[in-house]
Amino acid sequence: MTNSFSELTFNTRAFRNPDIVTSLVKQINQLADGVAESLGRPVQIMEVCGGHTHAIFHSGIDQLLNENIEFIHGPGCPVCVLPAQAIDKATWVAQQADTILATFGDVLRVPGAKGSLQQIQAQGADIRILYSPLDVTQLAFDNPTKKIVFFAIGFDTTMPSIALTIQSAKQQHIQNLKFLCYHIRLMPTLTTLLDTGEAELDGFIGPGHVSIVLGSECYQPIAAKYHKPLVIAGFEPIDVLQALHMLLLQLSQQRCEIENAYSRVVSKQGNVLVQQTMNEVFKNSELNWRGLGNVANSVGSLQPEYAQFDGSLVAPQSSPCECDDSKYCADVLIGKRKPNQCPLFGRSCTPESPLGALMVSSEGACAAYYKYKQIPFNESQPEYSEDA
């Protein structure tokens, strides 16, 4: 099986080959039965990335696997972990005179204490959706009498493009541009999650996109300190299944290693030049993230030499927001609950009228459940208990 997989080309159809899928599923289920028997419970695997959550449900992988494998959905969605006070700060900025707020489209509908950016936009705020961070420099040139603020979010994956944009703005001496940065570092997020001990985890499916930047070596503390295996995966069905097979093989052999099932794009060291650029522009700071609380060294704030572009310095400081969704969304983000265990799921909280970020984001676990799981809302949702 390994040989057949390694000989696959980059053709999408090959990574969905039904014969290889069938063979992998059979092997995975057999391994899961053995590991679950030794554990006395189902094997609990966390897919860190929200993109993997959607890939698993979209391709029906969860329906092919038996009851001895349980997926725990991780905090790897930047829109989902974004604290509500970040939305409130961006909302405040967007409402200031002669200001244009630019951001990515997936954050527009995330609710804050004072509404979403989409609602503020409907009230007249000038909010622009950009597809590339570099577009914001042109926006600043085209509107010299306006203050341009870029609301930048994402994990380590998006930090390089933002860093390059900030460097470009400095080189071009752009004076009317600021950046409101909420970039979350993956490794402090994972270690904080493990330190809390809220979720019983046996291993991780590691994120593909972040690993292209960071490399596979950065995950060694997950195995060395926390004794959890992690296998980096791509996003095609066979990518995910191969990573799951490698994880279960480790568990069955009582091994704990960092392995790479996405070697066609992920290297051991990652993109060193990109990492250097990130470190030149950003420094690590502490921030309170949804579901995780205060996480040290988790947010990329600007280095002193780029302080002129720091939008957080002109926006008011805000206290953590206790929104109605917080207790439910937080539990889903750290793997303590499943989306359908929230009493709001599919009732008052839907993609059309989301109460929380996990239902808004294209990588959110709640959005994935709503779109793919087709859970009967009137009979499948357990009562929510803070003590359960």
Torsion sign over Cα 167, 173, 174, 178: positive
pLDDT in tens, 122-168: 999 999 999 999 999 999 999 999 999 999 999 999 999 999 999 99
- 304 and 286 inside one domain: yes
Does 321 fall in a domain?
Answer: no
- 103 and 165 inside one domain: yes
- 182 and 280 inside one domain: yes
Q: What pLDDT does 28 receive?
A: 98
Does 56 fall in a domain?
Answer: yes
Token pair for 264:
């066609």
Q: What pLDDT does 317 receive?
A: 63
Residue showing tokens 């009979």: 379
* Cα 180 to Cα 57: distance, rounded to the nearest angstrom: 33
- 13 and 161 inside one domain: no
Q: What pLDDT does 368 receive?
A: 92
CB 190 within 8 A of CB 34: no
Residue showing tokens 């039904």: 18
Q: What pLDDT does 387 receive?
A: 38
Q: What pLDDT does 49 receive?
A: 93
Residues of the chain short of pLDDT 70, as ranges, are 1-13, 315-326, 374-388
- 123 and 152 inside one domain: yes
With CA atoms as reference, report the closest residue to 176 among 139, 132, 206, 146. 146
Does 335 fall in a domain?
Answer: no
Angstrom distances, CA of residue 161 to CA of 56, 146, 157, 314: 28, 23, 8, 23
CB 251 within 8 A of CB 35: yes
- 89 and 124 inside one domain: yes
The count of domains in the chain is: 2
User: How many whole angstroms from its chain centre is CA 224?
Assistant: 23
- 182 and 99 inside one domain: yes
User: How many whole angstroms from its chain centre is CA 48?
Assistant: 7
Question: Which run of H or E residues covers position 167?
Answer: helix 159-171
Neighbour order of strands in the sheet with 258-260: 69-76, 43-49, 203-206, 230-232, 258-260
Residues 6+ apart with CB under 8 A from 360: 79, 106, 109, 110, 111, 351, 354, 367
* Cα 35 to Cα 13: distance, rounded to the nearest angstrom: 31
* Cα 300 to Cα 248: distance, rounded to the nearest angstrom: 34
Domain span at 132: 80-186+270-313
- 275 and 232 inside one domain: no
- 7 and 62 inside one domain: yes
* Cα 150 to Cα 121: distance, rounded to the nearest angstrom: 15
- 294 and 168 inside one domain: yes
Does 46 fall in a domain?
Answer: yes
Does 149 fall in a domain?
Answer: yes
- Beta-strand runs (E) in 234-351: 258-260, 282-289, 293-302
- pTM of the complete model: 0.88
Which CATH number do you get for residue 101?
3.40.50.11740
Does 384 fall in a domain?
Answer: no
Does 132 fall in a domain?
Answer: yes
- 220 and 113 inside one domain: no
Does 375 fall in a domain?
Answer: no
- Hey, what amino acid is at 166? I
Q: What pLDDT does 41 receive?
A: 96
With CA atoms as reference, report the closest residue to 342 among 351, 360, 330. 330
* Cα 190 to Cα 75: distance, rounded to the nearest angstrom: 8
Q: What pLDDT does 4 receive?
A: 43
* Cα 170 to Cα 304: distance, rounded to the nearest angstrom: 13
* Cα 66 to Cα 117: distance, rounded to the nearest angstrom: 42
Which CATH number do you get for residue 207?
3.40.50.11750
b/e map 288-302, b = 16+ CB within 10 Å: bbbbbeebeebbbbb
- 93 and 179 inside one domain: yes
* Cα 101 to Cα 126: distance, rounded to the nearest angstrom: 6
